[in-house]
């Protein structure tokens, strides 16, 4: 380790962590947050919802199963930096195609290891998520703290425009894992766009605010012909696709900054069934007259307990968000809360039967349960039917 390059993480409030660099060398800025997942670092690195954030993993060793192309959640990486207790240089898995360190280097992401991640996480939990700077090129602590203070906040900033697609496209790929039900209907799935399928299919327009690929795979698995459109696509253009339903995707940052999507949702409400996930849930809440607020440190991990209020069942969910819907601000009597987080009672789901729309704050496609939330995609197709 003597030849390893030093790296420093400095927070805006003066807290500093010095460790060793792995991956790319340089300097980056972002909101410093933590994720409690034991696995899934590759999905985290490629989830567009992490745009503008430096992610700390609470699990002590990261990288031991490497990186493979099939588990990507988007076409590129979006995190501002990656912090771990210990990086495993040995990647031992038959699916591994490269090491985590090589992946970070290739994608120009700075990695930091050998810091006290427990101390960092406790600091964030106590004082809230902080702006930070991660650097291997400037090791002056005082200067780095000043840089962190001066770095831009994500509040009020539209990060969606950084991650949305440039133009509309069709998505036809279903889940890649071996599933008997999917394999049985594979030919039907592949014929969706040829109109030859014997199964009932639904024309879905997915508004890409930073969509994860596994959401698209799940929509196809449940019989949807999916057209993905940029986030700034207006309601009129969306309706020209003659959709049976509209899907609002996850994405990064402050939902109140993405006013154009909220306006589109208002105009679509009541015309077509709508299903929203994560940022899509928040934008649906805003479109229905509610407000959102920034959480102290958010929910990020694959172990968040959520209660489905209609039957009191508890789902173990995957989440990644720093903003939440203020349920008390929703005065519309047609809107009901369907799910709550059991850790802090924040809103995890909304529904408006009058307008055939619903949303959840968590990620049902991530399947940590593993099938606790699979019913949500079926609920969407039932609405369209």
Q: pLDDT per residue over 238-262, tens digit each?
A: 999 999 999 999 999 999 999 999 9
Cα–Cα distances in angstroms (integers) from residue 258 to residues 117, 126, 226, in the given order = 33, 29, 23
The residue with tokens 């819907």 is 325
- pLDDT over 70 at 176, yes or no: no
Closest CA to 286 of 344, 350, 333, 367: 350
- pLDDT over 70 at 35, yes or no: yes
133: domain range? 6-150
Closest CA to 247 of 238, 255, 258, 256: 238
- Percent of all residues in the chain with a pLDDT value above 70, rounded to a whole number: 93
Query: What pLDDT was estimated at residue 23?
Result: 95
- Percent of all residues in the chain with a pLDDT value above 90, rounded to a whole number: 88
The residue with tokens 């992490």 is 50
- pLDDT over 90 at 111, yes or no: yes
Interval 179-203 mean pLDDT: 60
CATH code, 100: 3.50.30.20
Q: What are phi and psi of 200, to 5 degrees?
A: -70, 130
Cα–Cα distances in angstroms (integers) from residue 2 to residues 5, 121, 162, 174, in the given order = 8, 27, 38, 47
Query: What pLDDT was estimated at residue 198?
Result: 52
Interval 195-204 mean pLDDT: 73
CATH code, 299: 3.40.50.880
Same domain (yes/no): 318, 359: yes
Query: What pLDDT was estimated at residue 308?
Result: 97
Query: What pLDDT was estimated at residue 161?
Result: 97
Asked if residue 155 belongs to a domain, the reply is no
Choice between 308 and 371, residue whose per-residue pLDDT is larger: 308
- pLDDT over 50 at 178, yes or no: no
Query: What pLDDT was estimated at residue 199?
Result: 61
In total, how many domains does the chain have?
Answer: 2
So which residues are the catalytic ones? 278, 363, 365
CB atoms within 10 A of CB 303: 14
Query: What pLDDT was estimated at residue 175?
Result: 78
Same domain (yes/no): 235, 376: yes
pLDDT in tens, 45-86: 999 999 999 999 999 999 999 999 889 999 999 999 999 999
How many angstroms separate the CA atoms of 203 and 226, rounded?
6
How many angstroms separate the CA atoms of 96 and 92, rounded?
7
Query: What pLDDT was estimated at residue 367?
Result: 76
Asked if residue 353 belongs to a domain, the reply is yes
Helices (H), the chain: 41-45, 100-106, 117-127, 141-150, 160-163, 180-184, 186-190, 213-221, 235-240, 259-268, 279-287, 375-384
Interval 113-125 mean pLDDT: 98
Asked if residue 305 belongs to a domain, the reply is yes
Query: What pLDDT was estimated at residue 370?
Result: 75
pLDDT in tens, 319-333: 999 999 999 999 888
Same domain (yes/no): 187, 318: yes
**Is the CB of residue 114 less than 8 Å from the CB of residue 85?**
yes
Last residue of a domain, one of 121, 150, 179: 150
- Quick one: tokens of 170? 């069709």
What mean pLDDT value characterizes the chain? 93
Query: What pLDDT was estimated at residue 366?
Result: 85
Interval 142-157 mean pLDDT: 96
pTM of the model: 0.92
């Amino acid at each position: 380790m003597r030849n390893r390059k030093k790296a420093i993480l400095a927070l805006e409030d003066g807290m500093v962590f010095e460790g060793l660099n792995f991956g790319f060398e340089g300097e980056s800025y972002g909101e410093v947050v933590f994720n409690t997942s034991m696995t899934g670092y590759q999905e985290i690195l490629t989830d567009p919802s992490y745009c503008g954030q430096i992610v700390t993993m609470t699990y002590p060793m990261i990288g031991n199963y490497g990186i493979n192309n099939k588990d990507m959640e988007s076409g590129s990486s979006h995190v501002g930096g990656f912090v771990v207790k210990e990086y495993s240089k040995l990647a031992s898995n038959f699916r591994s195609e490269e090491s985590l360190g090589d992946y970070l280097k290739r994608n120009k992401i700075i990695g930091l290891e050998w810091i006290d991640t427990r101390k960092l996480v406790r600091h964030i939990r106590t004082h809230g998520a902080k702006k930070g700077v991660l650097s291997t090129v400037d090791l002056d602590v005082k200067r780095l703290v000043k840089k962190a203070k001066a770095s831009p906040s994500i509040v009020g900033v539209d990060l969606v425009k950084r991650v949305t697609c440039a133009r509309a496209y069709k998505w036809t790929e279903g889940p890649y894992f071996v599933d008997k039900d999917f394999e049985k209907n594979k030919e039907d799935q592949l014929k969706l766009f040829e109109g030859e399928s014997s199964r009932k299919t639904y024309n879905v327009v997915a508004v890409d605010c930073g969509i994860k690929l596994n959401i698209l795979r799940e929509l196809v698995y449940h019989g949807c012909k999916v057209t993905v459109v940029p986030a700034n696509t207006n309601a009129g253009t969306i309706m020209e696709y003659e959709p049976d339903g509209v899907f609002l995707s996850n994405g990064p940052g402050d939902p109140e900054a993405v006013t154009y999507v909220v306006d589109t949702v208002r105009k679509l409400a009541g015309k077509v069934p709508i299903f929203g996930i994560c940022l899509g849930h928040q934008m649906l809440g805003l479109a229905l007259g509610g407000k959102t607020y920034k959480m102290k440190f958010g929910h990020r991990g694959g172990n968040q307990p959520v209660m489905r209020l209609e039957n009191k069942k508890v789902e173990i969910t995957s989440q990644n968000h720093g903003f939440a819907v203020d349920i008390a601000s929703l005065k519309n009597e047609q809107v009901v809360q369907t799910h709550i987080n059991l850790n802090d009672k924040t809103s995890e789901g909304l529904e408006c039967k009058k307008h055939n729309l619903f949303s959840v704050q968590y990620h049902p496609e991530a399947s940590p349960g593993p099938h606790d939330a699979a019913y949500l995609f079926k609920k969407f197709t039932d609405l369209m039917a």
